[in-house]
Structure 1
Amino acid sequence: MRIGTRQIGADESSGALAPVYIIAELGVNHDGSVERALEMTDAAAEAGADAIKLQLFRAELLMSRASRLATYQAAAGERDPVAMLRRLELSIGDMGRIVDRSHARGMHAIVTPFSVELVEAAERVGFDAFKTASPDIIHKPLLDRLVRTGKPLIVSTGAATMDEVERAAGWLGPARERTAFLQCVSSYPTRDADASIGAMAAIARVWRGPVGYSDHTTGVDTGAVAAVRGAAILEKHFTWSKRAAGPDHAASLEPAEFRAYATLARDESVMKAWMGSVPLPPDPRIGPEEKRVLPCEMDVRRLSRQSLVAARDLPAGHALRPEDLTIKRPGTGLEPFHLEEVIGRRLRRAVEADMPLEGSALEGVAA
């Protein structure tokens, strides 16, 4: 896999191993300010990042009337999910400025679009790669659309079961040469005991492309531990201040911490350990080599996944058409990969506009 000219992981022809690729996840830590995002981009370059990553969303496309805040968001002082997202949105023009700045600083720019409708706009901006958020590992329409861009794709797996990872790997098989999977724990911040770095090995058994680690722990050396265990990519939230108000600042690293994080992850001894020439000490962050959903992830799994949602008021007895449905949070309705199979099915009861479509609302046979 390559992002631009940069090799990710081992070269398939020569077997040569590239240095770990480190992403500074700006996420929403710019607080909705493009000027702050530009300053953070400069700081990420100086801290040793290979790429910055942004999130592209629109509150009305992502949040249904049933959406709720995750516990960690409420703990950070947020009160309303739609108001929170609107405050944190960046325009497409803003993103273009950030992409240009990242390229001028010698970094790639990666974006996570949360809705199919936003992918085309992201393509026009000139991002070097796409990444999906962990909750969207079940969002087949979004994954399919991202594959069609022809760009490199990174898929996070937080709060996912091994079966869900395998299913997504099956969908993405045709794009294997430009796709990577990241082990992730969807808990903010993640305790060391829950870091589950060893789960990368389970993912690697079903995905022949690069595997990495999206790190939500608070330590500056967790990336080095993951690199020793074979992470080709590291992703870490980046902030201008951990004390700032907002949902993700507290689980992020400030510039000096990020610089230490990148330095440790790229240390020559890490590469030697990965190649097996030095022993690996035990570490509670590694855990078993299995992929499973942890109790600390259940809140995010339920609230941040997306499901099929009624695009308008739908009466009982109505046969579903593509234009009747959209895909939004929360994940309490039918999963997005069911979209094609529910078309033509009749409703046994009415479904209100902007509310999730549950399986119990469908009659048993297609119209």
Structure 2
Amino acid sequence: MIIAEIGTSHEGSKEKARKLIDAACDAGADYVKFQWVYASEILHPDTGFVKLPTGNIPLYERFKELECPVSFYKEMLDYVHSKGKKFICSPFGLQSLKELLEIHPDAVKIASPELNHYKMLEALADYRKNKCEKTPVILSSGVSTLSDIEKALSITGKDNVSLLHCITSYPAPENEYNLRLIKNLSNILGIPCGVSDHSLDPILVPALSVACGGTIIEKHITLSRKTSGLDDPVALEPEQFGFMSHIVNQAKATLNHYGIETGTKRIIDQISEQFGSEKVEKVLGTGIKELAPSESLNYGRTNRSLHFMKEFEKGHVINEEDIGILRTEKVLTPGITPEYYDLVIGKTLSRNVKSGSGVQFEDLM
């Protein structure tokens, strides 16, 4: 399965979104993927700034600019289907998940930072439990531990669920990809695994992921790396994406023709001729699940934690509107993990707290 991640590269333009869909389909994608963005589901307004060619702007405001109505996504789903391809989308909270499920996507992708958004995972699990046919779910596992993945799967279940090994770094260093982990994760967890690739090369990680047993490759696509989309600098342009699809299909054909053992060796040997055996061995890695060096400092900041949405004084009784399950990102302090959300609601504050600050156990009586 080849997923072309458009994400928010369309920047709200239907015309650009259709051009991206056309490019993805022509470049060999099986699935075309979008992101259903509501800024308030992702970040606190005081989270910090993002560097863009036009200067530094508040990250929250940048996400606000990327919000689209339900009709936008429905039109894109219909257009993807008209091209004979499948539509997949990432929600980032309860509202976007509800609206996404109402248009019946071909699959739901849970992005790496939302792997511990337990309230959203629970809502998704409830929806799938009440349907005769379970909507396929793909979980991404960047900036996560094995126990984080197992916790998420304990909520979603494993029926029609796949996993993407991922490094949450933009761009992600190929040497840190540890692709031998794909087969190990699949064996440990008992579900199909692939890779979400944020590296810049169209061949190295995608081809080797097939050799390592990967069943899915996801990569960003853009009309041009010089445009202003948030992920455009690490995306493949259409010609590169098409080349990647060709290489992936060649690798699949090699496995089918020669069998797993001989086919895997042939793929690795061919890639080693181009990139060098030392480089390839580093990309293949140890197969042990660890945080990659490039993402380890973001653990607890990129994924979700609990944050106060306003400034509150000591003695305030916390209700659901007071707490956000958010990414910490830039300048705020991470809070306790979302698994404690229900415990926090109804508690009384033991001290004054600032808007945006991460919830700490010391804040609660």
Aligned residues of 2:35 and 2:89 also touching (Cα < 8 A) = yes
How many angstroms apart in 2 are the aligned matches of 1:329 and 1:289?
28
How many angstroms apart in 2 are the aligned matches of 1:83 and 1:271?
48
1:79–1:323 Cα change, 3 Å: closer
Mapping of residues 276-315 of structure 1, within 5 Å: 276-278=261-263, 279=265, 280-281=268-269, 283=280, 284-298=282-296, 300-315=298-313
How many angstroms apart in 2 are the aligned matches of 1:348 and 1:104?
57
- The letter of the residue matching 2:16 is R
TM-score computed with the length of structure 1 as normaliser: 0.85
Residue matched to 1:170 = 154
Residue matched to 1:360 = 362
- 3-state SS of 1:276 partner: helix
Aligned residues of 2:2 and 2:29 also touching (Cα < 8 A) = yes
- 3-state SS of 1:60 partner: helix
TM-score computed with the length of structure 2 as normaliser: 0.86
- 3-state SS of 2:348 partner: strand
- 3-state SS of 2:306 partner: strand
- The letter of the residue matching 1:361 is D
Is 2:27 the counterpart of 1:50? no
Residue matched to 2:223 = 240
Uncovered stretches (5+) of structure 1, i.e. residues with no partner: 1-20
- The letter of the residue matching 1:296 is S
Alpha-carbon offset, residue 78 of structure 1: 4.5
Cα deviation code 1:17-65 (max 9, x no counterpart): xxxx010000111122121011100111111100111111112332214
Alpha-carbon offset, residue 74 of structure 1: 2.5
Moved more, 303-312 or 126-135: 303-312
How many angstroms apart in 2 are the aligned matches of 1:118 and 1:259?
31
- The letter of the residue matching 1:62 is I
- The letter of the residue matching 2:114 is D
Is 2:244 the counterpart of 1:261? yes
- The letter of the residue matching 2:192 is P
Aligned residues of 1:54 and 1:111 also touching (Cα < 8 A) = yes
Is 2:42 the counterpart of 1:74? no
How many angstroms apart in 1 are the aligned matches of 2:96 and 2:240?
33
1:24–1:316 Cα change, 3 Å: same
Residue matched to 1:348 = 350
**Percent same amino acid among aligned pairs?**
27
Aligned residues of 1:307 and 1:330 also touching (Cα < 8 A) = yes
Cα deviation code 1:168-210 (max 9, x no counterpart): 222233xx12111110001111122112212223422431111
Aligned residues of 2:45 and 2:60 also touching (Cα < 8 A) = no
**Paired residues, number:** 338
Residue matched to 1:83 = 61
Uncovered stretches (5+) of structure 2, i.e. residues with no partner: 129-134, 270-276
How many angstroms apart in 1 are the aligned matches of 2:56 and 2:83?
33
Cα deviation code 1:238-277 (max 9, x no counterpart): 1000122232111111111111111111111144577113
Is 2:144 the counterpart of 1:160? yes
Residue matched to 1:329 = 327
Aligned residues of 2:313 and 2:353 also touching (Cα < 8 A) = yes
Please give the root-mean-square deviation of Cα atoms over the aligned residues, in Å: 2.1
- Determine which of 103, 114, 121 is the counterpart of 1:143: 121
Residue matched to 2:195 = 213
How many angstroms apart in 2 are the aligned matches of 1:25 and 1:329?
21
How many angstroms apart in 1 are the aligned matches of 2:201 and 2:310?
46
1:232–1:325 Cα change, 3 Å: same
